[in-house]
Amino acid sequence: MPYDLKEVAAISGMPGLYRLLKPTRAGVIIEALDERGTRSVASARNKVSLLHEISIYTQDYDQTVPLTEVFDRIYQKYGTDLPLSNKSDDRDLTAFMGDIIPDYDRDRVYMSDIKKLVTWYRAVSTRLEYQAPTAEETTEEASADTASAPAKAKKKAGKKDDEPAKDEAMSTAGIIPATEETNAEGNPEAATSAKKSSKKKAE
């Protein structure tokens, strides 16, 4: 793939992007995707959004554009020298988004999403190496997109009328648990769910 986003994530309550290095009992060891590359531990309570799980809504309700593909489109047009930033004029950002994804959904993709997209691309293109996709990878990605279309449609249906939450990476993002080690002890919500489940079984 052009930019490998499988281990790159946005973490709630923490600015910027991070590379996931190694899970621990307390959470996961992360490395900031910036010049300093500072390492720290993200708590299991933090919401982690892997970039390769994020896609952009289009006007076709059953179709989205994966962030990996969006980044590839930006690279093909601008390379690593993107002239925009999150502080650029809203009209320029809107025009940029329409150029990259002509049929993006204007109602469900917010200006905050476009600003994050620009910020994320600048960080990724600076720190990660671009790799041109092979013909085999292109075929595999096309097959995977076709197979996962129903799941994407179901995922989007639950977010159609929602405004973006403050801690979400994007309104188009799928928020996932920080690690598989997140459990009832470290997650109040999980504990509540477990109690409810036990109560139903007892009844």
Tell me the pLDDT tens digit for each residue of 21-62.
999 888 899 999 998 889 999 988 889 999 999 999 999 989
User: Could you report the per-residue pLDDT of 117-173, keeping only the tens digit for each?
Assistant: 999 999 999 988 888 766 555 555 555 554 444 444 334 433 444 444 444 545 554
pLDDT for res 200: 46
* pLDDT at position 131: 81
**How many alpha carbons lie under 13 Å from residue 15 in its C-beta half-sphere?**
2
For residues 36 and 44, give the distance between their C-alpha atoms in angstroms, rounded to a whole number. Answer: 24
Give 88's contacts (C-beta < 8 A, 6+ positions apart): 118
Task: Taking residues 108-117, report their average pLDDT.
Answer: 96
With bands split at pLDDT 50, 70 and 90, how would you rate the model's confidence at 105?
very high
Asked whether residue 200 is domain-assigned, the answer is no
132, 105 contact by CB (below 8 A): no
- Domain membership of residue 199 (yes or no) is no
**Got the DSSP string for 17-33?**
EEEEEEE-SSEEEEEES
pLDDT for res 6: 92
pLDDT in tens, 173-193: 443 333 333 343 444 444 444
pTM (two decimals): 0.67
Domain for residue 137, yes or no? yes
Q: Does 86 reside within a domain?
A: yes
The pLDDT > 70 percentage for the chain reads 65
* Residue 126 β-bridge partners: none
pLDDT the model gives residue 36? 87
Q: Report if residue 41 sits inside a domain.
A: yes
pLDDT of residue 5: 93
In this prediction, residue 84 carries a pLDDT of 95
Q: What pLDDT is recorded for position 138?
A: 52
The strand pairing partners of 20, in sequence order, are 30
Quote the number of domains for the chain: 1
Residue-wise pLDDT for 62-100, tens only, equals 999 999 999 999 999 999 999 999 999 999 999 999 999
- In this predicted structure, what is the pLDDT of residue 100? 97
Range of the structural domain that residue 43 is part of:
1-192
- What pLDDT does residue 25 have? 87
Max CA separation in the chain (angstroms)? 62
